[in-house]
Amino acid sequence: MTAKVKAPAENTKTVPEAVIAFPDNRLLIDLCGEFDKNLTQVETALASQIIRRGNELAVIGDEDSVQKTIDVVRAMYLRLEQGKDLGPGDIDAILRFGNSADGTGARDGDQIEMFKAGGVEFRTRKKTVEPRSPTQKAYMELLGEHELVFGLGPAGTGKTYIAVAAAVSLFIEGMVDKIILSRPAVEAGERLGFLPGDMKEKVDPYMQPLYDALNDFLPAKQLERLIEEKKIEIAPLAFMRGRTLANAYVVLDEAQNATTMQMKMFLTRLGEGSRMAITGDVSQIDLPRGVKSGLVEARDVLQDVEGIGFVKFSAGDVVRHPMVAKIIRAYDAKYSQDD
């Protein structure tokens, strides 16, 4: 894969153009996507124009956008050479690795080179989870290195999803004997009253996001069997009292809704051979007025404790619909002005 840059003639308004040649035309077809939708996604993000000419792509734009587009297209092609998929989310990830941390401005190609070099991923039965932003990459690295990791930030940044993927990956590799997923059973700003059914039926609505993540990583029959064998447990935070969790991967989701005493209780459950991931968003606390969030206190108390990892996500790390990031930024701006 080679690139030839044609500089504009002196004293002319001709824009720079770079031509990239690809050795495998079949991979180039996949790179472009149906009706060139993949190229359109890159053009829109980087304010460039990409024209296909046989086994070559011509990139037109200002000098900065041309170079960034070349870096992104090369990373896309390399991904295909490695036998990996190339969907809209994958392209978005490559673009994010070439952008600044807040997702608002592009940098040089170093971040993309880091993304192409890769190495950090969690393999599960149904899919391989890779980072889609530099912050996600740092988070995944910490989950692999530390026994206790806090992932803090807004919804849609992949905090819980990645933590559950890490748990499943280590379980499959035999590094832990069981997975325990927990959440505080706190209603989000509304009173649901008494729910019908037995205990499992009462708490399952609170636990559904954890079931959703597991269904993405394990075949349905295997997941059902592992739950029946209690190799995977999904339970409210209150059920953790009195237990010592040895050789387990433990994930506490929505930790901003744990009280100070609940958080201390949970953290002290950590047993031999176990790992913990704690995720939450301190801007979405649903505890009664006057009750302090255990996640806020744990962040302040444990920030400098050696061996504990902290990762702070921002709106720029949101990997859901792009509108979600805009919504989060708008609310952040509103409340920062009110303060």
Q: Among 108-112, 115-119, 276-280, where is mean pLDDT lowest?
A: 108-112
CATH superfamily of domain region 2-117: K Homology domain, type 1 (3.30.1370.10)
7-35 pLDDT, tens per residue? 444 444 445 788 999 889 899 999 999 99
Contacts by residues 85-93 (CB-CB < 8 Å, ≥ 24 positions apart): 86/30, 86/31, 86/33, 86/38, 88/38, 88/41, 89/132, 89/319, 91/38, 91/41, 91/42, 92/41, 92/132, 92/319, 93/130, 93/131, 93/132, 93/133
Return the H-helix or E-strand segment holding 202.
helix 199-217
How is 174-193 classified by DSSP, letter by letter?
A: TS-SEEEEEE----SSS---
Tell me how far apart the alpha carbons of residues 224 and 215 are, in angstroms, rounded to a whole number: 10
pLDDT tens digits, 285-308:
988 888 999 999 999 999 999 999
Place of tokens 């201390």: 264
Q: Write the pLDDT tens digit of every residue in 159-169.
A: 999 999 999 99
Structure tokens, 315? 């709106």
The mean per-residue pLDDT over the stretch 266-270 comes to 90
100 versus 325: the higher-pLDDT residue is 325
Query: Of 33-37, 239-243, 313-317, which one has max mean pLDDT?
Result: 33-37
Tell me the mean pLDDT in the region 194-206. 59
Q: What are the Cα distances from residue 167, in Å, to 44, 147, 164, 332?
A: 36, 12, 5, 31
Better-scored residue on pLDDT, 83 or 58: 58
Which pLDDT belongs to residue 185? Answer: 73
For the cut 70, the answer to whether the pLDDT of residue 66 exceeds it is yes
Q: Which residue has the higher pLDDT, 202 or 294?
A: 294
- Cα distance between the two ends of the chain: 53
Q: Quick one: pLDDT at residue 105?
A: 39
Please give the C-alpha separations between residue 108 and each of 48, 79, 314, 319, in angstroms, as whole numbers: 16, 19, 21, 22
Q: Residue 78, SS3?
A: helix
For the chain, give every domain's residue range.
2-117, 122-338
**Structure confidence at residue 296 (pLDDT):** 95
Instruction: Give the pLDDT of residue 192.
Output: 42
* Mean pLDDT lowest among 98-112, 120-134, 262-276, 304-318: 98-112
Q: Is residue 6 classed as helix, strand or coil in its secondary structure? A: strand
> Cβ contacts of residue 201 below 8 Å, gap of 6+?
195
Residue 83's identity, in one-letter code, is G
32/243 Cα distance (integer angstroms): 53
Task: Please tell me the least confidently modeled range out of 89-93, 171-175, 240-244, 334-338.
Answer: 334-338
Would you call 321 exposed, middle or buried from its count of C-beta atoms within 10 A (0-12, 13-18, 19+)?
exposed
> Do residues 277 and 163 lie in contact, with contact meaning Cβ atoms separated by under 8 Å?
yes
CATH class of the region 122-338: alpha beta
| CB-side neighbour CA atoms (13 Å) of 20 | 24
